[in-house]
Structure formats: C-alpha cells, structure tokens
C-alpha cells in the first residue's frame, strides 16, 4: 500500500507529465517547436524549473503545481547562532523550503530571547552541545517559560501575500505558473503579454515550539525534554485562468497568440 507522501509525490509528478505531454502534443501544429525532457525527477526533486518556453530566442520559465493548495506537510527546523537550517523532507520540495525559510527570518529575536531565558534559568542548559534548537530543557524551566509568555512569542502563524510569492519566483526568473484545476497565471511580470490573470494567493505558515516527553540521562544524572521547532505550511492559490496548459485546445490558442504577438513561431519548448 502506498503511503500518503508517496501518493502526493506520484500525483505531483503525474500532473507535470500531463502538462508536458499536452504541450508537446499541441506543438505538432508548429514546425519549429522542439520538446526536451527535464533531467529532474518531478514535483519533489531539486531541479529549479519545471518547463521553459522559448519564444523569439528568449526563455520564459513556467512553474507547475498540481492544485490550488500545493505542498502540504510539516518540517523540522534547527536554529543555531542566529541561523536557520531546515531539514530535508519529502513533505516539501526544495523551492518551498527556501520560501518557508524566508518567511521565518523575523523570528530570530524571539528565539534568541527564549534561548537566553533558559541559559540564565535552567540548570539543564549546560548539557546542550549546541546553543539553539533542538534544545534540552528541564520541565520546571519549560513551565516557567510558558507562564512568563516566552514560548507564546514563538508560536504564531505567518501569512504572506501573493506579492511575497510573486517576488520569490521573480528572484528565480520565473514569470508564469500552471496550477491544476485553475490554469495558467503570470506572477510579477507578463513578458509575453498573455491574456491570463495575475496570480493571487498566500502562504500560511504555522511556526511552533514543541516539547518531547521527559528522558533521563544516567551518565550525568539529570532529567530533560527536547524542544524542537516545527513548520506547517501551505501555498494557497486563488482564481481561475482563461487558459490551461493541461488543455490541448487552450494550449494551441496560446501558441497562436504568442506567434502572432512576436510575429514569429515558437522556436522551442524545453523541459
């Protein structure tokens, strides 16, 4: 039986394949269109671009998401010496991890204050190999930190607008995004002048500090719990486009529009 993560992985890959297949089939009407397969492994791989459209000698990168609520899941975060380190996870692809890391940079001061509290008030603190999270704490100091409201400052939801998402993809040189069930959108810019809407949406990220059960260190004779940082996130997209790259008829119409606008057939599609 497939695990849920395997299902997400495979369904994401299948949707990318569907979009590529539709684009390739639609290109049959255009003699100068060439389709090249990406070397990446699909929706959860580390490759940077899902598909690139080359028109009039210029490349236009396109991101592919399988639905309007892409990349569900949770991930652990390490924090040491003012720097975040998000562990690799099948729940998020590499680009979404980068997006999440950008979202939580504002938490540095709060995290440093919590670390400083345990440094000054918790005898267990000295047993931490690294100053940061994951963090070993005593139950008493943890309860006191909650009582004083220190932990509450870490536990919050971070919401970023579509402008944040659009600027993030702009930094990657990506202008367009294809979303299953919604169609094709432009993000920060629409260099091809396509008759499609601008992407609207948001990213919701829940940032939490959680404590494990109590353990006993026999060698040094002390009890402790480990506090870990977790991120739960989801990209939520809104709206419906006039065109979708998983629809052959609509894809051909887009090709015709681009050819007419540039007064030249598409030179190639590379994947």
pLDDT digits (tens, 9 = 90+) for 185-225: 998 899 888 999 998 888 777 888 999 999 999 999 999 99
3-state per-residue secondary structure call for the chain: CCCHHHHHHHHHHHHHHHHHHHHHHHHHHCCCCCEECCCCCCCCCCCCCCEEEEECCEEEEEEEECCCEEEEEEEEEEEECCEEEECCCCCCCHHHHHHHHHHCHHHHHHHHHHHHHHHHHCHHHHHCCCCEECEEECHHHHHHHHHCCCCCCCCEEEEEEHHHHHHHHHHCCEEEEEECCCEEEECCCCCCCCCCCECEEEEEEEEEEEECCCEEECCCCEEEEEEEEEEEEEEEEECCCCCCCCCHHHHHHHHHHHHHHHCCCCCEEEC
Domain extent listing, the chain: 4-270
pLDDT band at 32 (very low <50, low <70, confident <90, very high): low
The whole-number pLDDT of residue 265 equals 46
What confidence tens digit (pLDDT) does each residue in 112-137 have?
999 999 999 999 999 999 889 999 99
């Amino acid at each position: 039986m497939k695990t849920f993560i395997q299902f997400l992985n495979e369904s994401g890959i299948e949707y990318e394949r569907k979009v590529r297949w539709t684009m390739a089939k639609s290109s049959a009407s255009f003699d100068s269109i060439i389709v090249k397969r990406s070397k990446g492994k699909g929706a959860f791989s580390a490759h940077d671009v899902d598909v690139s459209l080359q028109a009039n000698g210029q490349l236009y990168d396109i991101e592919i998401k399988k639905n309007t609520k892409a990349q569900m899941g949770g991930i652990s975060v390490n924090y040491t010496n003012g720097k975040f380190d998000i562990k690799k996870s099948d729940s998020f692809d590499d680009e979404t991890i980068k997006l999440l890391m950008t979202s939580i940079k504002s938490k540095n001061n709060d995290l440093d204050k919590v670390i400083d509290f345990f440094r000054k008030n918790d005898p267990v603190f000295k047993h931490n190999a690294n100053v940061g999270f994951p963090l070993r704490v005593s139950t008493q100091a943890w309860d006191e930190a909650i009582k004083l409201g220190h932990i509450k400052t870490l536990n919050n939801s971070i919401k970023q607008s579509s402008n944040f998402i659009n600027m993030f993809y702009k930094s990657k040189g990506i202008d367009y995004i294809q979303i299953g069930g919604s169609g094709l959108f432009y993000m920060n810019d629409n260099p091809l002048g396509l008759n499609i809407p601008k992407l609207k949406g948001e990213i919701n990220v829940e940032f939490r500090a959680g404590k494990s059960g109590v353990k006993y260190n026999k060698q040094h004779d002390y009890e402790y719990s480990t506090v870990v940082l977790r991120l739960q996130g989801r990209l939520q997209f809104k709206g419906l486009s006039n065109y979708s790259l998983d629809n052959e008829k609509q894809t051909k119409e887009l090709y015709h529009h681009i050819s007419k606008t540039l007064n030249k057939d598409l030179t190639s599609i590379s994947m």
